[in-house]
Amino acid sequence: MSDAINRAWTMASRPTGEPKQENFAVEESPIPSPKHGELLIRTLFMSLDPYMRGRMRPGPSYATPLQPGDIMTGEVVARVEQSKSSNYTVGDIVRSSIGWREWAAVSDHSVKRVDPSLGPVSTAVGVLGMPGLTAYHGLLDIGQPKAGDTLVVSAASGAVGAVVGQIGKINGCNVIGVAGSDKKCNYVKNDLGFDYTINYKTQEVSSELKRLSPNGVDVYFDNVGGPVLDAVLDNLAFKARIAICGQISQYNSDDIPLGPRNMWALLRTQSRAEGFLVYAFEQQHEISRARLAGWIKEGLLKYKEDIVDGFEKAPEAFIGLLRGDNFGKLLIKVSD
């Protein structure tokens, strides 16, 4: 190989508050050789997602926390460079959870084939991957929207939120997107077809919701938690559904922040808040992925990628993601 060194980003130390460059370190090693039944894969695109901040925390989560020195968690789209498996040949494109790495030797059972006919291969970790499927199942299975419902989605221009709002439109909802800049708001309204937007940095979310949806919010797809969730709880419709997908507003907090004790809102409106993980719907993923791909082909579902070129830029891009600096699905382009 011309590129004889394999690089990986590790969590060098556990961050307190917002992660810093110094919390990450590059670990170099030789490019591995695949054993029988294994593949040597080379990362094309690395997905950066907010949940990764959760893995850097020591507390209880749905997955094992990283320890200092561990390679950062994550899924990549990769190309098979050597195959010692009869199931894959050189040049096949796969998804694999090898973390922030350039190369890896992996069991052929641990990867999933990417079908390039569905769209650009980068979408396998975006609109046709974990973020798109999270949007699909969280909205449809947990949020259970009906035509005519008012749907609110936070982080509306993000990899998940943008898909949620568009599936809401496909299902006949009145869609309000909450985002952190006028540029993002304009994008989801003008390019993606959301009905209304609220810039939570410059507008008062609760009173805007009251104005835009006087009969209340039927479905809230919550990516952020915190004060935006509070504002929605102030404005719930009867029998509303809150799909709790993420709480990014507090991922960088070391202590649990304080907020109003507003579970009364669920009682008053006989509403439901429910947390979910995309993996709970794994047996349906192939069907839902095909449906997402179909909507893209019909022009009903658009997506935006925010591609940062260069493996070495991953920590910087990830720190920006947690700040809301990115715009669209954040990917690191690692090789051609």
Q: Which residues bind a copy of itself (CB under 8 A)?
A: 60-62, 222, 225-226, 229, 244-247, 250, 256-277, 280
- Shortest spacing between CB 259 and a copy of itself, in angstroms: 4
Residue that the structure tokens 């690692």 belong to: 334
- Shortest spacing between CB 7 and a copy of itself, in angstroms: 32
Which H or E run includes 294?
A: helix 285-297
Task: For strands 217-222 and 329-333, give the pairing.
Answer: unpaired
Instruction: Tell me whether residue 53 or residue 189 sits nearer to a copy of itself (CB atom).
Output: 53
- Shortest spacing between CB 192 and a copy of itself, in angstroms: 25
Instruction: Tell me whether residue 277 or residue 300 sits nearer to a copy of itself (CB atom).
Output: 277
- Shortest spacing between CB 276 and a copy of itself, in angstroms: 5
Instruction: Tell me whether residue 36 or residue 261 sits nearer to a copy of itself (CB atom).
Output: 261
- Shortest spacing between CB 39 and a copy of itself, in angstroms: 32
Contact between 270 and 241 (Cβ < 8 Å):
no
- Shortest spacing between CB 273 and a copy of itself, in angstroms: 5
Alpha carbons 59 and 65: distance in angstroms, whole number: 7
Contact between 158 and 223 (Cβ < 8 Å):
yes
Instruction: Tell me whether residue 268 or residue 297 sits nearer to a copy of itself (CB atom).
Output: 268
- Shortest spacing between CB 59 and a copy of itself, in angstroms: 9
For 170, the 3-state DSSP assignment is: helix
Alpha carbons 277 and 179: distance in angstroms, whole number: 22
Q: CB-based contacts of 236: which residues, under 8 Å, 6+ apart?
A: 216, 217, 220, 265, 266, 268, 269, 271
Instruction: Tell me whether residue 31 or residue 266 sits nearer to a copy of itself (CB atom).
Output: 266
Instruction: Tell me whether residue 26 or residue 266 sits nearer to a copy of itself (CB atom).
Output: 266
Nearest Cα residue to 115 out of 127, 106, 107, 123 = 123
Alpha carbons 328 and 162: distance in angstroms, whole number: 8
Alpha carbons 78 and 45: distance in angstroms, whole number: 7
Instruction: Tell me whether residue 152 or residue 301 sits nearer to a copy of itself (CB atom).
Output: 152
